Structure 1
Amino acid sequence: MSVPGFVAAATARARRGAIAGAGPSVSKAPSTSGVRRSRAWMSVSKDDVASETAPIAMSTSDYPDVLVGSGQREARQRKFSVKDAIRPELIDMDAYTPILPYEILAQRLGMEPKDIVKLDANENPFGPSPKVSDALRDAPFLHIYPDPESLFLREALEEYTGLPKEHLLVGAGADEIIDLLFRLFITPAQGESVVNFPPTFGMYKFDSDVNGATCINLMRDAEFRIPIDELEALYESGNPAKPPKMVFVTSPNNPDGSTITDSLLRRLLKLPSLIVLDEAYFEFCGETRIGWVREFDNLVVLRTFSKWAALAGMRVGYGAFPLEIIQHLWKIKQPYNVGVASQLAATVSVQDRADLLDKVEKMKAERTRFYEEVKRFDWLQPFPSSSNYVLCRVQGGRRAVDVKQQLAKRGILIRYYSSAGLAECIRVSMGTPEQMTRLYDALAEL
C-alpha cells in the first residue's frame, strides 16, 4: 500500500474507533527506512479527514497514539542537545591558539602589512622559489581534482631524501599526518595514551585531545633535554597498564632549537611504542634519521615544506614510514588531501632546492649574528639553537609580555611564553638582515 493510502486508512480506522468509543488502535507506524514520521507530511487541514482516500489531515497532538507509540512520542518531544550529542571528552577541551596572518595583525595594529616585521611563527622571510609562482601561473589543471597519491611530488622527494617513494606519504602539512597517526593507532576514550615532552610543539597535545587519547606530559629539564630515565621508568612501572601507543619527539625542538642524539633515539626505539620523530626544521641543522624507517618498524619521521621551502601558506608536509604502517595510512587518508597548487609548488621547490637551501644558509647566518647582537642586552639570555629561531629568557626585572607588547607597537612581532618550562621567555624567528637590524634597534630602545 502506498504511504498516502496507508495513512488515510489508518485515519479512517481511528475515526471509526473514536465513534464507537474504543479509541484509536494503531500503534505501529511504517518503517522509518522508507518514511519519515514527522509533521512535515501531516500538514493538511482537519476538514480533509472525511474521505478515507483523502490526504492525511491530523496532527500528532490530535491523535497522539496513531502512528507513534508512547516511547517514540517521548523521543520526538525531546529537543536536540549539542552537549549531549558530541563526544564528552571534547566539551571542555582547550582550543589550539594559532598565529594570525599579516593582514589581520596589520589591521589590529593599525599598520600596513609591508610595515610589519613578522618574527613570531618561524616562517621563511625570503619567500618561496621564484619558480613556484611561474609554475602556478602556467598550471593547466587547477580545475581537475588533484592526484590522490601525489606521485610526482613523492618521486621528487625520493631523490631528495634517498628513500624509496613507497615509504613516503604526503599530507596537508605535517599536521594532517600527525592527525592520521592518531586515527590509525588510538581508539578514542579507551584509556590509550601517548607521551609528550613539553615544552614542545603544541599539536601533539592538541591531536591527543581531539582523538580521545590520554597525553602523558614528561617535562624537559632546564636545558630542554628529554627525561629518558623517567620515560623508561614509566614503562617499567606498569602505569598506565597499557604501554603508550606513541611517543612524540621533535628535533630540532620547537621552541628552543635543541636536538637529540643517535644514542637517545636508539633508547627510545627499544620501547614498545611508535616513536614519531618530527624533523620539521631538519634543513636548518642537517641532522636526519629519515633512512632509519627501513631499519626500525616503530619509527616515523615527519617533515614539512613550511619552513625551508617557505610554503607555510600552501600546507604541504610529508612523512616517512615503515611499509607495514604506510599501507594502512593510505586507506584512511582523505583521497584528495593535497591540492593541485600545493603539490605543484612543493614539487617545484624540491627541484629548485639549491635556491631554497641558499636561503636557509642566510637564515643560519642571521642566527649566528643574533647571538652576537644580543650580547649587549644583559636582560636577554639566549639558548643554543639549531633551527631558524632562538629562544631567550627575559631577566633583570623585565617581563616577557612587556617586551612582546613594546615591540608590537613598533611593528615587530615575536612570540612570548608564560607556560611551564618557558616562564618569561620569548622566541625570535630569523628574518632578513634588514628585518633583524630593525629588531636590534628596537631592542636598544626598550
Structure 2
Amino acid sequence: MFTPTSLIRPEIAELEAYTPIQPLEVLAERLGLPVERLVKLDANENPYGPPPRVWAALADEQHYHIYPDPGHSRLRAALADYTGQAAETILCGAGADELIDLILRLILRPGEVVLDCPPTFGMYSFDTGVCGGRVVQVARQADFGLDLPAIEAAVERHKARVIFLAAPNNPSGNLLPPAQLERLLALPLLVVVDEAYLEFAGVEQGYAPWVAHHANLAVLRTFSKWAGLAGMRVGYGIFPPWLIEQLWKIKQPYNVSVAGQVAALAALEDRAWLLANVARIVAERERLMPRLAALPYLEPCPSAANFILCRVLERSAHALKQALEAHGILVRYYHTPLLRDYIRISVGTPAQSDALLGVLADV
C-alpha cells in the first residue's frame, strides 16, 4: 500500500524546522500594538535601510520582465572593486544562505560530518541536515572562543569535511583571530568563514585576501546587514578556483533577482553613505554597551558586530524577553542549552536604544 510519507527522506522527516523571525505585521497583531510602536531589535537588521541611490535605481529599472543576468557580471565587477579580489573568484547568491546550501550540496555525501561550533548561526547545522550530512558539535569556550584542540580532535575522529565559522560570530559578536584561522587551515577540511557582520568590525578584519593563498578557505559575505538589503536577499562569496568552478555548475541559473542585482550595484555605488551609517551603528553600540552593563541583571558580552549578546542574571532570560515584547521591544531569545540565560539585542538608532533602556529600567 502506498504511503506518501514513505517518499520523504528520513533525515528530512526527523529534521527540526528552522525558526525565522516573524514579520512586523504578524508580531504587531499578536501583541495588539500598532506596527509603528514596535522597536525591532531581534534580527540584526540595519535600522537606516538602503541608501537613496538604491530607491532611485529600483524605480528606474525597466527590465523586471526579463530574466536576470545569470552570471551577475556587473555586480561581480563592482564587488571585485569593493573587495580587492578578482571577479573570477566571486559568486553571488540569494543571500549568503544560498551559498551555504550550495557548498554543502557540493561537498557532502550522505552521513558525512560538518563541524559546528555553537553557539553560532543556526543555518550551518540546518543546511547540513537538509543535505543529508551529520552535524558534530564542538562547543565554544566560556568566552565564546573556539576550542581548537577539540576541533582538531573532532576532525581526526570524524573525518569532517567542512567547518563554518562566523567572524564576527553570531550571536556572541567575537572575532576569529588570525592565528586561530591559520591553525584551522592546516587541517584536512574546507574552512568557510562567514563575514556577514564584517563591516561593523572593520573591513581590514576580513579574510578575503587569504583565499588566494589557501585552497581550503572560502569567505562568505552579504548585503543584508551593512547595506540594509536584508529583504533583497543578496550575498556573495570569494572562493578558490577548484571550488567556484563546481559551484557555478550547481547554482540555479537565475538565482539573484533583477531587483537584487540592481539594489546591490546601487548600494556599492553609494557605499560612502552606507559606511557612514555603519559608523553610526558602531558608535551606538559603544554607547549602549556601558548602559546595559550598568543594569544589575545584565552582563553584556564584548561585540564587534551590530548586536550585543547579554547574559541575564538572577531572572529568566525568556521572561525578560517576553516583558520587553509586551512593551513593543523585540529582542532575540534562543531556546538552546548554551544560550538559555542570554538575550541578543540588535543595535538600532539612538532613539530605539533609549526606548529599550527605558523599558529595561522599569521591568
Which TM class, normalised by the smaller chain length? over 0.9
Q: Equivalent residues in 2 for 1:36-75 (5 A)? A: none
Q: Which amino acid aligns with 2:132?
A: G
Aligned partners of 1:425 and 1:302: how far apart in 2? 27
Q: Which runs of 4+ in 1 moved over 3 A?
A: none
Residue 167 of structure 1 is matched in structure 2 by 89
Residue 425 of structure 1 is matched in structure 2 by 342
Aligned partners of 1:138 and 1:124: how far apart in 2? 24
Q: Percentage identity across aligned positions?
A: 50
CA drift at 1:434: 0.6
2:326 to 400, 409, 433: 409
Aligned partners of 1:415 and 1:357: how far apart in 2? 25
* Residue 258 of structure 1 pairs with residue 174 of structure 2: yes
CA drift at 1:149: 0.7
Q: Which amino acid aligns with 2:355?
A: R
Aligned partners of 1:168 and 1:82: how far apart in 2? 41
Q: Equivalent residues in 2 for 1:27-426 (5 A)? A: 78-79=1-2, 81-188=3-110, 191-236=111-156, 239-240=157-158, 243-286=159-202, 287-395=205-313, 397-426=314-343
8 Å contact from structure 1 (residues 277, 302) kept in 2: yes
Residue 4 of structure 1 is matched in structure 2 by none
Deviations 1:14-55 (A, max 9, x none): xxxxxxxxxxxxxxxxxxxxxxxxxxxxxxxxxxxxxxxxxx
Q: Which amino acid aligns with 2:289?
A: Y
8 Å contact from structure 1 (residues 418, 424) kept in 2: no
1:195 aligned counterpart, secondary structure: strand
Provide structure 2 residue ranges, at least 5 long, that are not aligned to the other structure.
none
Q: Which amino acid aligns with 2:173?
A: G
Deviations 1:388-427 (A, max 9, x none): 00000110x2111111111111111001124122121000
8 Å contact from structure 1 (residues 418, 425) kept in 2: no
Residue 436 of structure 1 is matched in structure 2 by 353
8 Å contact from structure 2 (residues 293, 300) kept in 1: no
Residue 24 of structure 1 is matched in structure 2 by none
Root-mean-square deviation (CA), in Å?
A: 0.9
Count residues with an aligned counterpart.
361
Give the TM-score taking structure 1 as reference length: 0.80
CA drift at 1:323: 1.0
Aligned partners of 1:132 and 1:325: how far apart in 2? 32
Aligned partners of 1:413 and 1:360: how far apart in 2? 21
CA drift at 1:371: 1.4
2:20 aligned counterpart, secondary structure: coil
CA drift at 1:233: 2.0
Deviates more, 1:89-98 or 1:417-426: 417-426
Q: Which amino acid aligns with 1:323?
A: P
Deviations 1:262-300 (A, max 9, x none): 110010000000000000000000110101111111000
Deviations 1:191-235 (A, max 9, x none): 311101000000000001101101110000110011101111233
Q: Which amino acid aligns with 1:407?
A: L
Residue 62 of structure 1 is matched in structure 2 by none
CA drift at 1:376: 2.8
Give the TM-score taking structure 2 as reference length: 0.98
Aligned partners of 1:313 and 1:285: how far apart in 2? 22
CA drift at 1:132: 0.7
Which has more radius of gyration?
1
1:393 aligned counterpart, secondary structure: strand
CA drift at 1:375: 3.2
Aligned partners of 2:273 and 2:81: how far apart in 1? 17
Provide structure 1 residue ranges, at least 5 long, that are not aligned to the other structure.
1-77
CA drift at 1:111: 1.7
1:313 aligned counterpart, secondary structure: helix
CA drift at 1:374: 1.7
CA drift at 1:82: 2.2
Q: Which amino acid aligns with 2:183?
A: R
8 Å contact from structure 1 (residues 257, 384) kept in 2: yes
